[in-house]
Amino acid sequence: MRRAIATVIFPGFQLLDVAGPTTALEIAERFRPESYELMLMAPGGGEIESSSALKLTAGQLQGGPFDTIIVSGGDVIRSMPAFQEILAWLKRVTSRRTASVCSGAYILAEAGLLDGRRATTHWGNSEDFARRYPKTRLDAERIFIRDGDVWTSAGISAGIDLALALIEDDLGPEIARRTAQQLVVHQRRPGGQSQFSALTELGGRTGRFMDLIEWMRRSLAEPLTVERLADRAAMSPRNFARAFSAETGMTPAKVVERLRLETARRAVETSHSPLEHIAEATGFGDSGRMRRAFIRNFGQPPQALRRLAR
């Protein structure tokens, strides 16, 4: 039985949010014919202009039921009437699962579909999203997240990662692997969004902690406790932890780990230094602990990343 996949767009949608997942599903269909029925829908239907001014022709929002609904990201409030119509439609339509790409998570959250659930969105929206939707347990580090029958993905190209996961869920890992090969992408992308985020480079939303983060980067081999960081910032530990998290969207401990990971990965990929030396210089203490952190964050051990870099 073909699975009805309804992709929802609106004025100002991001073109790759639609093209990426749709292409992945189309390729999977080649390997397993009659698996998917792909539909593109929008409030009112007709020609819908994307954020790049290119247009796609969509049908009107239908009543379903659907196997899967995928809500595109983009400028979600360019047309408030379209935004409100999608919200009302999501609240009454039935589907086996619902997904969003990038800022499409705002639409799911506004419809109440992410209340009490784990979700992700583009790293650049994480602070704003967390403030607007406190009932959602946002994990801005993840490329995509499945929580029950609701799936969310990170920014733009992560829609392909999401689609590959949907394909694996439907048709198994072999079809997903062959689809990824045709797309010339990883079936499971190593690492999380932090490798693309500029927050720690900027020192936070306003740059308030820029000097502190630069000092942290130079002091990775030393113990970097909240108490020591707070003393360096001339703040109490409690106030520092709260202010730092508000500025960067991450806890001090998370930023310390990220800085260590970034520095260690750069050394692993660009130098011939023994892994034990790199682990000591970046504050991991030993290569075993660094290896576990690499697998947890990048999906691969240091040795594999060094081989790929070469």
pTM: 0.68
3-class DSSP assignment, residue 4: strand
Residue 101 has pLDDT above 70, yes or no: yes
Closest CA to 167 of 8, 19, 35, 71: 35
Q: Where is average pLDDT lowest: 26-40, 95-109, 124-138, 175-189?
A: 175-189
pLDDT tens per residue, range 274-304: 999 999 999 999 999 999 999 888 878 999 8
Q: Residues 87-115: what's their mean pLDDT?
A: 96
DSSP string, 110-153: HTTTTTTSEE---GGGHHHHHHH-TTSEE-TT-SEEEETTEEEE
* Tokens 């790199």 sit on residue: 278
Residue 110 has pLDDT above 70, yes or no: yes
Q: Which residues of 135-163 are buried (b: 16+ CB within 10 A; e: fewer)?
A: ebebbbbbbbbbeeebbbbbbbbbbbbbb
What is the enclosing helix (H) or strand (E) of 264? helix 252-270
Q: How confident is the model at residue 151 (pLDDT cuts 50, 70, 90)?
A: very high
3-class DSSP assignment, residue 3: strand
Mean pLDDT, the chain, whole residue set: 90
Provide the pLDDT for residue 297.
81
Closest CA to 226 of 263, 255, 259: 255
